[in-house]
Amino acid sequence: MKFQRTAIPDVVIVEPSVHGDERGYFSETFRLDKLEQFLGFRLSFCQDNESKSEFGVLRGLHFQLPPSAQTKLVRVTEGKVLDVAVDIRRDSPTFGKHVAVELSAENKRQLFVPRGFAHGFVVLSESAVFNYKVDSYYDPQADRGLAFDDPALNIDWILDPGKFKLSEKDRKQPLLASAQVFENSQNLYE
């Protein structure tokens, strides 16, 4: 298993080792001990989620506020997506910046998205199955989001915006300038 820091060092690409032969392949997709050793802090994933979406579906940008903030470890088991994490920690030097990574069943990459980030993805293939672990249960009172098309974020979603399929919730999210975000990134993992 390989770990690679991105342009925002707290967001990490996880690349599982794949061992294959004429019969197929084997891959260890998650090792808590190795991930914690790389990150330097403990994690407690408590829930696994899965969604299936068709081409052009854009989900996000979503997050939960403390004390229900979530860490996510995301991957695609069918199809291909562009996965995006936006730093919404106001005291961070990368506040408002984002990382975009292609995740697919083929490349088997995963993205570690820490607390203090908004997260979203758009489906680039005919359909995609998206899986993710979280370390805090869903809390509707803490549920928040950002406008996926906020010009201040300058996210290139690859697809023509006319091809996006959005929920009503995602059509109405606020711009970063007016959104409730993480004011203090200290102690997010205590």
Find the catalytic residue in 19, 62, 137, 189: 62
Sequence-ordered alpha helix ranges (H) in 104-161: none
CA 25/CA 28 separation, integer angstroms:
10
User: Cα separation of 13 and 82, whole Å?
Assistant: 13
Q: Return the half-sphere exposure (C-beta side, CA atoms, 13 A cut-off) of residue 80.
A: 10
62 part of the active site: yes
Half-sphere exposure for 147 (CA within 13 Å, toward CB): 14
What is the rounded end-to-end Cα distance, in angstroms, of the chain? Answer: 26
Catalytic position from the list 19, 98, 132, 137: 132
Give every CB contact of residue 42 below 8 A, 6+ residues apart in sequence: 36, 189
Active site residues: 62, 132
